[in-house]
Chain A
Amino acid sequence: MKNQLLLKNAGTMLVRVLFAVVAAFPIVFMLVSSLKPDQQIFGDMSSFAAFLPVGNISFDNYAAVFDRVPAARFLLNSVGVSTVTVILGIFVNSLCAFALSRMQVRGKKIVFTAILATLIVPFQTLALPLVWWVNQLPYFELNGFSLEISKGWLDTYQVQIVPFIANAFSIYLYHQYFESIPKELDEAARIDGAGWFKIYRRVVMPLAGPATATVAILTFLPAWNSYLWPLMVIQSEELRPVMIGIQYFFQLNVSWGEVMAYASLITVPVVVLFIAFQRSFVNSIASSGVKG
């Protein structure tokens, strides 16, 4: 009986390991290829050597990346834009979900349904009208002691952030999570003299850690991977995010080693974030009944 159980566990483990290896192959290929010259990458392609750091290995591709692309600047831009989007997204979306979950407001179901309905509309269909809209917004700039007002948000940092703060899916996730938190806790806090904002800040949000972790990841990933939007609204090199940077390598003669080195560089922050929040992420997805 014990042997049977051991055998079963070993079998399950083997299947898991196989899945893990298959899933890891592209990442291993990327990391290994980033250390090889172009001709060797293609030469190794037909054998297992494609996944092994063998042959002419060096960090030359990484050095070349920084010569071709202002990679540090792009990384900094993406970290900044993604982080601010996440922070403001958590604040705004959780507040919205809290109001929809806890406050007794007439028509809140209609509001919630309307918010969810926006999930159906793909971003690509909104992109061009949105470009027009953001180009109509007032832009305030301090010039010495005078405040200058001009029109249009194109080619700024905030145009990469503000349109993505409010997010229907984040509101939904928070709403579902808040629904699972007993309302009696609110009432107890209210007896102790807490107002709505204190209940939100001191009672509900501290219990919504897994939802916050999920929202953080689900907001961070699209912000980090953002490509179409910055392509349309950013013209200056100093404001570009990392994903635009990858296009720098696709010239008539593509330097594949450099592509792999750059891809490795920009993948690291995402992997670190996922590992940091992995447990909360899985918990929240499981508890909100959302399938990936």
Chain B
Amino acid sequence: MNKMLTKVLATSIAAVTLTAALAGCGKGSASSPAEGSNEIALWTHNAGNPDELAAVQKIVDSYNASQDKVKIKVQAFPQDSYNDSVVSAAAAGKLPCIVDIDGPNVPNWAWAGYLKPLELDTDLSKQLPSTVAKWDGKAYAVGYYDVALAMMARASDLKAAGVRVATIEQPWTKEEFQDALTKLKALGKWDYPLDLGTAGTGEWLPYAYSPFLQSFGGDLVNRDGFQSAEGKLNGDKAVEWANWFHGLADQGFMAKKSGKDSTQDFLNNKSAIIYTGSWAADKAKAAIGEDLVVMPPVDLGTGPKIGGASWQWGVTSACGNSEAAMDYLSYSLKPENVAAVAKATGAIPATEEAAAQIPAFAQGGADRIFMDFSRKYAVMRPETPAYPFIATEFGKATQDILNGAEPKSTLDKAVKAIDANIKSNGGYKK
């Protein structure tokens, strides 16, 4: 019996040692810095995006070299799973000092207590309005860039169909758009002449399609107090939008579910017009050259609209040295830094001073049109902590409508869910 016990004990010790050995493999480098350390952790969504990550790292390196009080340390996460990582870290009380955040999520994170209001030595009024995220009258995040939605086509295709090129001065009206699609369809070159990226999921749905709703005169929520979506998301204008949107698929102008990559399909001549972002411009230009035309979205009643806000930076409420974190953010917003990141990403720089340093975005530059779209058409996604829920409900309703659900009752259902969520969260008041 004693012999057996000894063996069991020996095996148990071996197992425990093995586990302990694993434990000894050490913690990762992103773990919270030790107390008294002058290190400040910065989390970004740029893993897998070497150009933007390198630009951010360069700013951090230059800041670290500029002073010796603190050292900023970058940890990159992949974009698609970034929010989940931050929320888990918040649940475990392990938030870093500086985070980047997708603009529309800022009010929710601020309301949840993840973020501190910004106190920067920088004049934020010089920023593109869509690059500063505010909630409850305070700025919580600021970005180096924005992106803009646009319609792209081949000039030769439009000419062949007898369709004029839409411009910022004279965008297509709803009737012109209908006419253009009818003529392009009649050419018989494509199964579907229009690709609105209907295979998209997640944030793409509200980002891409709520501007159409807003152009009709509807909205995701009543912005006066953000307490209800009644009348905005299910009013006459919203129903009109839903019928129009579903009609595009019904008339055979676009697929209910497009290909997985609209840009690639467009480059392979599987569609005549795509609705995509400024991020696709370089690839399209490289493949199509001078034949590519970039056009504003359709004016469906109240002028063309596009979604505003991209990735921005904020300081968390868990930060033990927020003064230093704010100092870094102020430093990082220097025009040359903003220009460097915008250049690396091909995105719209957040300030005119930075734009002047990038030939493509300077006055008369090839990509200046996106900056003009952003200034002229950008509508911020509702700046309320309820936005993530509203976005999910809108996304579901849009997909249902596209697949043939009755518009009014579908939108009523979404409104009911949104209003219930706002109510159950006490109106998302501070």
Contacts and interface: CB of A to CB of B under 8 A. Distances in A.
A235 B92 contact: no
Contact of B28 (A196, A235, A252): A235
Contacts of A237: 28-30, 47, 75-76
A142 interface: yes
Interface stretch (B7-15, B212-220, B289-297, B357-365): B7-15
Contacts of B374: none
Contacts, number: 149
Nearest to B85: A231
B54 interface: no
Interface in A87-107: 88, 91-92
Nearest to A67: B50
Contacts of A45: 259
Contact of A197 (B4, B20, B47, B89): B4
B224 interface: no
A140 B23 contact: yes
A11 interface: no
Interface string B24-57: 1111111100000000000100011110000000
A263 interface: no
A232 B84 contact: yes
A254 interface: yes
B22 interface: yes
A159 B372 CA distance: 49
Interface stretch (A22-30, A241-249, A277-285): A241-249
Interface stretch (B107-115, B247-255, B262-270, B321-329): B262-270
Nearest to B310: A252
Interface stretch (B136-144, B230-238, B279-287, B401-409): B279-287
A184 interface: no
A157 B91 contact: no
B187 interface: no
A253 interface: yes
Interface stretch (A128-136, A203-211, A267-275): A128-136
A155 B19 contact: no
B78 interface: yes
B48 A69 contact: yes
Interface stretch (A35-43, A167-175, A213-221): A35-43
A195 interface: yes
Interface in A249-268: 249-254, 256
A195 B92 contact: no
A231 B49 CA distance: 18
A84 B279 contact: no
B413 interface: no
A225 interface: no
B240 to A, nearest CB: 31
A161 interface: yes
A157 B29 CA distance: 12
B56 to A, nearest CB: 14
A236 B30 contact: yes
Contact of A231 (B19, B25, B88, B287): B88
Contact of B78 (A135, A141, A244): A244
Interface of A: 38-39, 41-43, 45, 67-69, 84, 88, 91-92, 128, 131-132, 135, 139-142, 152-158, 161-162, 195-198, 228, 231-239, 244, 247-254, 256
6 contacts: A140-B24, A141-B26, A153-B23, A155-B30, A156-B28, A247-B81
Top 8 A-B pairs ranked by shortest CB distance? A236-B28, A248-B48, A247-B78, A195-B4, A235-B30, A232-B88, A42-B264, A155-B28
